[in-house]
Amino acid sequence: MLTLRTGVSQAPKQKLSNTMRSWLPILQSNLESLKEVLEPFCEANPLLEVRPGNERDEGRQFAKRSFFDQATSKNSASEAIEALTLSKSSLYDVLYEQINPPLFPTCKSQDIALKIIEQINEEGYYDPEPAWWVAHGFSEVEVERIRGRFAQLLPLGVGAKDFKEAFLFQLDDLDVEEGLYQRTKRLIEDFENLETYAGEADFSEAIGIIRRFHIPPAIEYFEEEMQVVPDLFVFENNGAIEVKLNDAYYPDVIIDTQGMDESHYFVAQKIKDAKDLVDALEMRKATLYKMGLMIVEYQYEFFTGGQIRPMKLKDLADELARNPSTISRAIANKYLACNQGVIPLKQFFSAAIDEDVSNAAIKSYLQEVVAKEDSKKPLSDSRLLGMIEERFGVKMVRRTITKYRKQLNIAGSSERKKLYSFK
């Protein structure tokens, strides 16, 4: 029995057409589903067997803790790679990512917010230990003031004390007419006696709004989330940034010729087909490895703590001598793990406003400007539009800035002014 394990090569090899036909579907599949993609080849080849990577089960243990905990507890490069092998976003990971300005503009407000997260249960409700804030030197008033800002975090309703407050948090996020807002609020506050309001105006509309709310707030995190297996690792080793494939998750391709005449035409052809499959796997590895090297070259500042900069898919396609549509499909549903987290490859190819400016760059600048704005005179979307057009030399419309601001969970200028008064 002959076991063939694919190895890392620096550039894709030029192979026969059979290899190329195998390579495209193999390249386009994600690492988790790769074995399933290979199964039809096994069905057509009695000499061929494909087995999952030997370390697959071992790797799953790392899903139990967050990437941040794993990365900060490891010392060697190999251990860091182990930490990156498997990742999924939890409720707490999502919350931690949102504790930043302008909603939490000071170190103290951020510190309180992070401690509040520790008091949130798996359903998303604030379920605190008695007077926990005393041990940290905070007052209950300070804690409640900061907890009130959780009404603007995702998932909506998180950090509420009970279902009523979670309803109110979600209601505040809706843009409804003031009269309907007040009637819905009253129904929520007197929810135990809901039926007594059935004959009032707008009752049906108010109930319709309440039915849209998620209770408990973290219900979307109850079901087992898809485990993300990254294809690439990018990590620092002795002052240098390195790229490594997630080789442990690649399947074993086994060719069993025991007791067979390898000179026989049928056997020889099946052996050749099996080796073509191995070549296709090698080409997949080599292509993704080169993608990783190019991403690091283009995005070096990001991997050293900066921001993602504009990168065109065509540049990568030209370098690999492939059609951009092929590369676009190749990066779909594939991930890169680094100190900044587990990131979809497509995120490095932000849609461009023009040839040199990406949406990611605009959003980064928007965050930076808002973080430094005068708390007494927060910048309006129109003013932000003017600053962005001047900074990047592009023409945009105000509603685009409003959309970006909301995507970044940045409140409007009037809301920010109120928030700044909480400092």
Domains of the chain in start order, with CATH, are 2-58+228-348 (no CATH), 91-221 (no CATH), 352-420 (1.10.10.60)
Measured CA to CA, the distance from residue 69 to residue 79 in angstroms comes to 12
Measured CA to CA, the distance from residue 85 to residue 70 in angstroms comes to 10
Instruction: Give φ, ψ of 248 to 5 degrees.
Output: -65, -25
pLDDT for res 84: 47
- What the block records as the tokens of 393 is 């030399």
pLDDT for res 12: 42
Phi-psi region of 27 (alpha: psi -120 to 50; beta: other; left: phi over 0): alpha
Residues in the chain: 423
Long-range CB contact pairs, 262-267, < 8 A, 24+ = 267/47
Alpha-carbon distance values, 220 to 100, 123, 198, 236 (Å): 23, 10, 30, 35
Reduced to 3 states (helix: H, G, I; strand: E, B; else coil), residue 59 is: helix
- What the block records as the tokens of 296 is 């690091």
CB burial of residue 96 (10 Å; 0-12, 13-18, 19+): middle
Phi-psi region of 243 (alpha: psi -120 to 50; beta: other; left: phi over 0): beta
pLDDT for res 348: 82
pLDDT for res 14: 42
Closest of 283, 259, 221, 255 to residue 90, by C-alpha: 221
pLDDT for res 156: 92
pTM to 2 decimal places: 0.47
- What the block records as the tokens of 326 is 């092929």
- 340 and 236 Cβ atoms separated by less than 8 Å: no
- 331 and 343 Cβ atoms separated by less than 8 Å: no
- 327 and 318 Cβ atoms separated by less than 8 Å: no
Q: Mean pLDDT of successive 10-residue segments in the chain (423 residues)?
A: 40 46 75 82 84 52 33 46 53 88 92 93 90 93 96 93 94 89 93 86 89 86 63 87 88 82 85 86 89 90 80 79 78 84 79 57 87 90 89 78 84 80 60
Measured CA to CA, the distance from residue 184 to residue 92 in angstroms comes to 30
Find the farthest-apart pair of alpha carbons in the chain and give their distance in angstroms, rounded: 88
Measured CA to CA, the distance from residue 198 to residue 295 in angstroms comes to 60
Pairing assessment for the beta strands 232-237 and 335-338 based on DSSP bridges: parallel
Pairing assessment for the beta strands 352-354 and 252-255 based on DSSP bridges: unpaired
- 324 and 354 Cβ atoms separated by less than 8 Å: no
| Residue 165: count of CB within 10 angstroms of its CB | 21
Closest of 67, 161, 169, 153 to residue 123, by C-alpha: 161
* Strand order from edge to edge, sheet including 232-237: 240-245, 232-237, 335-338, 341-344
pLDDT for res 139: 95
Reduced to 3 states (helix: H, G, I; strand: E, B; else coil), residue 49 is: strand
